[in-house]
Structure 1
Amino acid sequence: MLKFSCNHGGGIDMRNTHRRLLDILSTTTVLAFMATPSLAQEAVWDGSDDEWYNPFAWIGTVPDASTPVIIGSGRVYIPFSGAEAAGVTLSGTGILDLDSDSSADGFGFVDVIGDGSGDVPELNFLDVSSAGSATIKASGAGNDSFDDARISFSQQSTAANATVTLSNGGRLTFRDDSTAASASLTSDASMIRFENNASAGLAHIISTGTSVVEFVDSATADGATIDVRDRGAAGPNLLQFRDTASAGSATINVSGVGQSTYADATATFFNDSSAGTATINLSNHAQAVFRADSTAASARLVSDDSLIGFQNNANAGSAHITNNAGSLVIFVHNATADGATFVNNLGGVIDVSLRSTQLGGNGTRVAIGSLSGAGDVYLGSAGVTLGALNQNDTISGTINDGYSVVARDSIGLGAFPSPTGGSLEKVGTGTLTLTGNNTYTGGTVISDGTLQLGDGGTSGSIAGDVQNDGALAFNRSNDVALGGVISGAGAIRQIGAGRTELTGDSSAFSGSTAIEAGTLAVNGLLGGTLDVGSGGRLQGTGTVGTTTVSGTIAPGNSIGTLTVNGDITFEAGSVYDVEVDAAGQTDLIHALGAATINGGTVNVAAGTGTYGTSTRYTILTADAGRSGTFAGATTDLAFLDPLLGYDAQNAYLNFVRNGTSFGSIGQTSNEAEVGRGVESTGEGNTLYDATLNSTVDQARSTFGVLSGEIHASVVSGLLDDSRFVRDAINNRLRAAFETPQITSLPVLGFVEEKNSRTIDQPAPAAYNGIWASSYGSWGSIDGDGNAAKMKRSTGGFVAGVDGLVTDDWRLGVLAGYSHSSFKVDGRSSSASVDSYHLGVYGGTQWGQLSFRSGLAYSWNEIDSDRHIVSDAFGGTVNGDYRAGTTQVFGELAYAMKAGDLAFEPFANLAYVNVHTNGFSEQGGAAALSIDGQSNDLTFSTFGMRASTDFLISDVKASARGMIGWRHAYGDVTPGLSQAFAGGDVFSIAGVPVARDAAVLEAGLDFAVTPSATVGVSYQGQLAADARDHSVKAQLNVKF
């Protein structure tokens, strides 16, 4: 039997034995075993030795690449590479140590299985050994201390490309400069630990369930990828860095399962640990917490619906942190973020309220290097210092005094009063833009750079006082107010197009204010100097410091006084907007120092009322004296000019009558005529005085409502509507002579009727008859740029009796009534007309040629209303007057037939005269006296009528139509002469009657019985600037 010398605790020290001898022994041993048949396929360590290569320490067989190995007790030592096995199972108290350059590459797998009994199997890689590409598993029975089964790497050993899986209480440890290299490490309810300068290398680490992955004692995650995934098991899934450990440049993904608190999966840094340059992604209610002097260093953190916390002297370093919707960043106690960049997006919250003294914090500000985004910031009674990175940032969320309930709950705090008094400090040279409407109440400090409220939009504000030693800029397009006190020696800039109002006592402010655009309204006290740029406007009733005006200054918010606690200088091109009223009140600038006027314009806005030329307005007073004059003065009054005057301390304003006549500002002939009429009433007349003190636009509007053009436009309506009586006569005569295309005219009776007639033959020419016809229409006449548009409607009836006086001639008389309405909305005027008609008519027929004619007169009773809107002479003016319409007409027509179709070309000529009686309106100064006057027109109409009969289910029907061209001769624009009380006569024109118009008619009649017809018809008159429509349904019965 061969004998071996042993050392190293009973193991064989093969480092001092020739390898060839080992080979001989191994071969001999194998041959010996082969000489005796055996059923065992496994190599079981018997614990009698401690070296893998001792063939006598194995039971069953000596391990080779095809042999499963079981080590249930004892310690097995592999001093160098070459060991092989189909797989190795460690259990009980079995321990396998790989040393020197040994490797697990020769093992198909290694399973480390603990049973929770207290016996712990171990797999240890020592002294630059390697796991190679082995598949390694460690599983336990669920020990909470993660110590059922152990795997460790130490003394610069490496996990190489191994696949390591831990479950149910297993533990994997890297220490003493060892590395996970490029291994794949998966842990479920187990622990992976890196310590004493160990590195995760480029490994991929997956941690699920209640696992813990921790880096301690200067260990680093290096360039690894670490996925921390919570499976919803009891307890959190933790990733920890502590005791100067670092996340290196790792990519860390921490994902929870969306439970109610941010504790599903947690990455924690404490005790001087660092996030290095890692990328840390948080999602679904995960959290990353920095404590106890740890730092986020230069890491990039992205949080989605998760929490990032800094507390107990931790800091965010120079990290870049993106806080997305549903996410929360909290600062507790002395945590800070001087060099960090935070992007706080919509739905994200940054909460520093846990530094509030009510919560045990020190109440001081949290320093954040850069903060931007649409998320909210909660201050509690603490504060935040922003801008140390000298960047330009925009915060569109809200900064307020509140706190996050989730943040409070996350550190186990109970209920407490809502804190107040949060504050903001702006540092650094950059610009911080706030576009949210912020409500924190502890005030604002601008130590450096610019704090800008708004970014050209309609939001961006703060509340409370401002200590301004940098620059405070207002950049909004609408109105905003700041009621707090502004102090310090910085700058105030109004740069937005909107209006900023300052109402606080900022007299202690010693800096400068510049109004570059928009309006600054000072209704409180503002110290320092003030410069109104060429695009800016200063107004208000407060007090400002020494002021230079290159733009616009406007004391008051209507009429008021602006006090200058110092000197005031008006530069060339400046504008002084002055408001005055007829009672003698005026805007005033009161300078407690001197006033220097180097030019500029005084622009006077006069309120309504009557201005006396003897009234003097004081618009500028300088206690220390005035020098210089304005270049001139303007006003919006049309007929008065402002006149400036001066003495040693004051500037004055008077009004004088200019040379502009009232009528000259009229843009239409009606406006000019009314202006001339008003001016003729003279000073002291209500209309004159009111117009004298009006602007151009006011005067033109006044002339429009004073014009009384409704009366002239009613004449247009009467001239146009005269056709309805003519049309009724024509229809009757065509019906009486059985002319084609007759209207279904009601015939009330005949004498000695001998036979019935068709639809288009309602009255035999051989008999006398009584007839009646109704009519109605609606329409409008457009304005012509002088008179305004008129809408109209009318309805009425005509009845007549006629008979044959010879074999060829029929004569008759008629009477009728109609009611018409006229409305001119542009002049707030309306009129209604009741008309009574009387006339005679006659006609004859020579073969196919017909002649029809008539003469009629209408008595028109007119009631009018004009509604005048004016402070001086407003009210309603009424008119009640008469007008007569005389008309005569004649028509020639020729009847033709082509089969069932009958034609009748025609020519019609009519003369119409409307005479309006003189009358006077009632209702105050705007009432007019109108002279009696006649307006007449001649109308010609040329056209064609046509009709045809046809059957519909044995019912006889008749279709008819007409088209024609109507032309008006003469002055189609009626006019009337009128005057105001005490004034000259002037002429006003109404809307014009259409010069040329198309006349249309279409109808359909049905003979429902031999003596009754029903029908429907449309009549229209269409012109470029006028239109009229009529639709009529009728039942005609012959008896």
Structure 2
Amino acid sequence: MTIQDLSLWPLKVCCKRRVCESRAAHVGSGIKKILLAAVAVGMAGFVLTEVALASASAAVVGKRADNQLSAVLWSPPPTDTEWIVNEAQLGLPDAPFVFSGDTLYTAGTFESRRAFLIRSLAGIHVQDDSALHLSGVISNPVGIRAGLEKFGAGTLSLSGHNLYNGNTTLHEGTLRISGEQALGNTANLLTVNQGTVVDYAPGATLFNQMRVSGDNSVDESPNGPTPEPASWALADSVQWRVNEGTATIIGPVFGTVPIVKQGPGMLQLNGVIGYPSFLTVNEGVATVDGHMAGSVRVNQGARLEGSGFARTVTVNDGAVFSPGSGVGDPANFVVLEKLEFKPGAIFEVDATAAGRSDQIQVAGKALLDGTVMTRATAGDWQPTTQYTLVHALDGFDGTQFASANTDLAFLTPSLSYDNEFVYLNLKRNNTPLDDVADTPTEDDVADVIDEDVPSPPEVPTPPVTPPPPEVIEPPPTPEGPLPPVTEAPVPDADVVLQEEPPVTEVAQVEEEVATPPKDNQELHDKIVVMDRPQAKEALNQLSGSWAASVRSAMLEDSRFVREAVLRNAGSGSWSEAFYSSGERASQGGTPADQRYIGGLVLGFDKPVHSNGKAGGFLATQHSEMSRRHGMASANIDTIYAGLNLAANLRYVDVALGLAQGWHKVKSQRKIAVGAMYDALTGGYSGRSMQLFGEIAAPLQWLASNAHAITPFARLAWVKAQADGFVEKGGAAATKVLPSDQSVLFSSLGLRASHVFETPKGEAIVQSQLAWHHASGDVSAISRQSFRESRRQTLFKSEGLPVARQAWSLQLGVQASLAKNVSLGMAYGGQYSRGRPDHGARANLVWRF
């Protein structure tokens, strides 16, 4: 490679000359190798409209020393191809790269953000297993309409807002398109040759016309491609790849080479794909919302969607054809000649309670097989709803779908046929809602939602007293002899008696018994159109387990104030601040939650005996609870007030305490599953009382002036009460009854301490290990009814219980700051199965 300094001048000052001469050599089959030349300009704000270059051997005309711009020239050796392996080889970072009819050869993978200027047809050759990404702007000088050609088996990515006016040709390898103007002017043509790949980035939109070209042409006949395109292998087709997200083709596509959709992403075809053409959806999703003048084949694991047109559609085993663009969006798809579902194919149908569904209209014949899978949306479903799924003008040739299924637990599908139509019938079955429930809480909620509204009592019809019978007097007896009786003439044998017309028996149509209305009709209607997992999740979210979980957390968190009092009892005036965060894993179907808590306790003691002190304390505490994914949250503000007593009785330390707490709870929860959504809020008050005590006996035989080991035992009885409240929100809002819960906490542990001297006095290093047990009402139960329910039937919900067993570890230090004043800091953690809790505390003690 030869680097030469050049001068680059505005057009008014210099003459027009090329930088270098192209040297060509015929190699092998006579393919011409084109040498590459590039000019980089390093002056910010310089607008290059037309560039004048001088060859390395020529003198620069009209040179002005006060207006000189520097540039570099890359001139490859005349006999070898020079490969660019990094961006630095393209010249100065801020200078544009100029194509002047030569081919740029690249190897390795790198990105260039510089501007590229195309003066004449630009060739880019990317070596196999390499990738070149041009993210800068590609443009032409004024009046130039040169385009770009891609060679080589590697990948060329274009992502800039490009402005060039020439066409683009993909001869080999892969062209990756990003954004909406990667190919320059939208009037430019993109030519894609057989055996190449157009790779679409997420969100890419192609407005340009596209021509697919090659030898493997599609020969269409009225019955489809003849012969069928060889395969969906790369060598036989043009491949459109979307590896993630969604890309869109809006411009028209024409040509005769088979096209294969690859990659798990979605490709939306909104324009016209001309005739003849053949599209194979081999991977991911293709959405045809425009006009496909040729045939479409969908392979196993792939999907065809949309509301457009296609000449013929073939859905293979394991493939899915679903008109429209998703659940709840019924649409029509038109097939102009032939539709065929192979055995194992899936026809996925969206249906609404209003009677709308996906439909395929076939102007020719439809051959049916495979499965109809129905996805229904929430709504006011009737006992039976009928839909038209397929309308084929030339019939079905005696074929039918093999089966009909649905993702709904509470609707049963069936199919019926006539000469031109396929009908789907969705009928409400007798499956109760609790069939999807897995826990007692879900079962209770299901029973309440599935409960019928009681029929009004029948009012007996009062008996009607018949009128007295009318007395009919006999006719008077005639006077004189009776006239002779004349016999009726007997008809001749030839005379045919006129018969009475036959009586037609009208069949009695058995009227379908209407489904009785439900006590919670709105909730019921939204659940019955869910699949089993969704219905189960809906029952779980609709329960009142959150209120029960909040109450059990209030009981567990009562320990912070209690432990602070027992730790500082008998210390004089003291204060302690604490903070803790913890999690509780899901249990028995009740969702997990997490909690952050902080508070401050202020206390004082006064001697009441030579070995005892009595005192009182005040505390404030704030905690924030939440369930994962924002499904529920609660803020709890608490104020405590209490009394405490501490005494030393013959080497045994005794501490007692009594505390009353007042709680304010603001609760929010969210119902979000399927088409069901509700935001619920509630506020209520609560109270708690706790009576607690501790006995600690230092081991005298291990005690010294420097250290001490003290076993201890604690006992606490705690009762929490919560007022009833009514949630604000929609149909899922509940009316929660007042509740209370009592738990007995017991602890056994061991404390160790070590004293050492400091310049301010002394410091004590402390540690504590304890085992905790809870008994009594450890289960948290709430009882509530749905606010809008007519019968107000109560159902029970189980929240997360109080942990029965746990271990705790505390490590801290208490150091003197001045005479009778000390400051302590400590870590405190409590560990139970699935319930880690970590916290810190700081306390200040003033002894007087």
TM-score range, shorter chain: 0.5 to 0.7
Bigger Cα Rg: 1
Deviations 1:818-846 (A, max 9, x none): 3342412323220424344455x656544
Q: Report if the CA contact (8 A) 1:595-1:624 is conserved.
A: yes
Query: Partner residue of 1:454?
Result: 198
Query: Partner residue of 1:825?
Result: 627
Residue correspondence of structure 1 range 882-1031 to structure 2 within 5 A:
882-889=686-693, 891=695, 893-894=697-698, 896=700, 897-947=703-753, 950-953=756-759, 955=761, 957=763, 960-970=766-776, 972-980=778-786, 981=789, 982-993=792-803, 995-1000=805-810, 1002-1006=812-816, 1008-1009=818-819, 1012-1018=820-826, 1020-1024=828-832, 1025-1031=835-841
2:527 is the counterpart of 1:691 = yes
Pair 1:345–1:999, CA change in 2 (3 A): closer
Pair 1:816–1:498, CA change in 2 (3 A): closer
User: Could you tell me how far apart the structure 2 residues matched to 1:1030 and 1:400 are?
Assistant: 54
Amino acid paired to 2:668: D
User: Could you tell me how far apart the structure 1 residues matched to 2:20 and 2:560 are?
Assistant: 97
Amino acid paired to 2:287: A
User: Could you tell me how far apart the structure 2 residues matched to 1:238 and 1:496 are?
Assistant: 44
User: Could you tell me how far apart the structure 1 residues matched to 2:174 and 2:421 are?
Assistant: 43
Give the C-alpha shift of residue 566 in structure 1.
Answer: 0.9
2:217 is the counterpart of 1:473 = no
Q: Report if the CA contact (8 A) 1:784-1:991 is conserved.
A: no
Equivalent position to 1:643, from 414, 428, 434: 414
Query: Partner residue of 1:790?
Result: 594
Give the C-alpha shift of residue 590 in structure 1.
Answer: 0.9
Residue correspondence of structure 1 range 545-564 to structure 2 within 5 A:
545-550=311-316, 551-558=319-326, 559=329, 560-564=331-335
User: Could you tell me how far apart the structure 1 residues matched to 2:658 and 2:126 are?
Assistant: 95
Pair 1:454–1:621, CA change in 2 (3 A): same
Percent identical among aligned pairs is: 21
Residue correspondence of structure 1 range 637-676 to structure 2 within 5 A:
637-658=408-429, 661-666=432-437, 670-671=441-442, 673-676=444-447
Pair 1:487–1:931, CA change in 2 (3 A): closer
Amino acid paired to 2:374: V
Query: Partner residue of 2:844?
Result: 1034
RMSD of equivalent CA atoms = 5.1
Give the C-alpha shift of residue 592 in structure 1.
Answer: 1.0
User: Could you tell me how far apart the structure 2 residues matched to 1:621 and 1:329 are?
Assistant: 59
Deviations 1:762-808 (A, max 9, x none): xxxxxxxxxx7555442324223433223042425465777658x87
Give the C-alpha shift of residue 874 in structure 1.
Answer: 1.5
Q: Report if the CA contact (8 A) 2:680-2:727 is conserved.
A: no
Query: Partner residue of 1:537?
Result: 303
2:399 is the counterpart of 1:628 = yes
Deviations 1:373-417 (A, max 9, x none): 978999966899999xxxx956737799999xxxxxxxxxxxxxx
Deviations 1:426-463 (A, max 9, x none): 7xxxx7754565458564678xx725332698799793
Q: Report if the CA contact (8 A) 2:162-2:183 is conserved.
A: no
User: Could you tell me how far apart the structure 1 residues matched to 2:806 and 2:175 are?
Assistant: 66
Query: Partner residue of 2:684?
Result: 880
User: Could you tell me how far apart the structure 2 residues matched to 1:633 and 1:1030 are?
Assistant: 61
Q: Report if the CA contact (8 A) 1:434-1:451 is conserved.
A: no
SS at match of 1:718: helix
SS at match of 2:538: helix
Structure 1: runs of 5 or more not aligned: 1-233, 267-282, 289-299, 306-324, 332-341, 356-365, 404-417, 736-743, 747-771
SS at match of 1:302: coil
Amino acid paired to 1:652: Y
2:284 is the counterpart of 1:518 = yes
Residue correspondence of structure 1 range 59-98 to structure 2 within 5 A:
none
Pair 1:547–1:978, CA change in 2 (3 A): same
2:260 is the counterpart of 1:493 = yes
Q: Report if the CA contact (8 A) 1:973-1:993 is conserved.
A: no
Pair 1:545–1:394, CA change in 2 (3 A): farther
Pair 1:963–1:616, CA change in 2 (3 A): same
SS at match of 1:546: strand
Give the C-alpha shift of residue 465 in structure 1.
Answer: 4.7
Pair 1:594–1:977, CA change in 2 (3 A): same
Query: Partner residue of 2:6?
Result: none
User: Could you tell me how far apart the structure 1 residues matched to 2:704 and 2:385 are?
Assistant: 87
Amino acid paired to 2:830: L
Equivalent position to 1:864, from 667, 673, 689: 667
Query: Partner residue of 1:396?
Result: 156
User: Could you tell me how far apart the structure 1 residues matched to 2:681 and 2:161 are?
Assistant: 63
SS at match of 1:648: coil
* Mean CA deviation greater in 1018-1027 or 864-873: 864-873
Give the C-alpha shift of residue 545 in structure 1.
Answer: 0.5
Query: Partner residue of 1:183?
Result: none
Residue correspondence of structure 1 range 109-188 to structure 2 within 5 A:
none
Q: Report if the CA contact (8 A) 2:194-2:213 is conserved.
A: no
User: Could you tell me how far apart the structure 1 residues matched to 2:37 and 2:554 are?
Assistant: 87
* Mean CA deviation greater in 479-488 or 622-631: 479-488
Pair 1:925–1:879, CA change in 2 (3 A): farther
State the number of aligned residues: 669
Amino acid paired to 1:893: A
SS at match of 2:101: strand
User: Could you tell me how far apart the structure 2 residues matched to 1:945 and 1:385 are?
Assistant: 80
Give the C-alpha shift of residue 564 in structure 1.
Answer: 0.7
Query: Partner residue of 1:302?
Result: 81
Query: Partner residue of 2:363?
Result: 592
Q: Report if the CA contact (8 A) 1:930-1:976 is conserved.
A: yes
User: Could you tell me how far apart the structure 2 residues matched to 1:464 and 1:383 are?
Assistant: 14
SS at match of 1:686: helix
Equivalent position to 1:616, from 386, 390, 394: 386
Give the C-alpha shift of residue 815 in structure 1.
Answer: 6.2
Pair 1:564–1:469, CA change in 2 (3 A): farther
**TM-score, length-scaled by structure 1:** 0.55
Residue correspondence of structure 1 range 251-266 to structure 2 within 5 A:
261=53, 263-264=55-56
Deviations 1:515-561 (A, max 9, x none): 33333332222223333233433222221112222122222334322
User: Could you tell me how far apart the structure 1 residues matched to 2:691 and 2:161 are?
Assistant: 86
Query: Partner residue of 1:116?
Result: none
User: Could you tell me how far apart the structure 1 residues matched to 2:161 and 2:596 are?
Assistant: 66
User: Could you tell me how far apart the structure 2 residues matched to 1:631 and 1:1005 are?
Assistant: 82
User: Could you tell me how far apart the structure 2 residues matched to 1:246 and 1:942 are?
Assistant: 91
Amino acid paired to 1:819: Q
Give the C-alpha shift of residue 482 in structure 1.
Answer: 3.6
SS at match of 1:993: coil
Amino acid paired to 1:909: L
Give the C-alpha shift of residue 890 in structure 1.
Answer: 5.1
Query: Partner residue of 2:376?
Result: 606
Q: Report if the CA contact (8 A) 2:715-2:744 is conserved.
A: yes
Q: Report if the CA contact (8 A) 1:966-1:999 is conserved.
A: no
Pair 1:937–1:476, CA change in 2 (3 A): same
User: Could you tell me how far apart the structure 2 residues matched to 1:1004 and 1:862 are?
Assistant: 35
**TM-score, length-scaled by structure 2:** 0.66
Structure 2: runs of 5 or more not aligned: 1-16, 41-51, 59-72, 85-95, 217-236, 453-517
Pair 1:576–1:814, CA change in 2 (3 A): same
Amino acid paired to 1:502: L
Residue correspondence of structure 1 range 44-443 to structure 2 within 5 A:
261=53, 263-264=55-56, 284-285=74-75, 302=81, 330=101, 344-345=105-106, 396=156, 420=166, 422=167, 434-435=175-176, 438-439=183-184, 441=187, 443=189
Amino acid paired to 1:555: P
Q: Report if the CA contact (8 A) 2:238-2:257 is conserved.
A: no
User: Could you tell me how far apart the structure 2 residues matched to 1:535 and 1:799 are?
Assistant: 70
Q: Report if the CA contact (8 A) 1:474-1:496 is conserved.
A: no
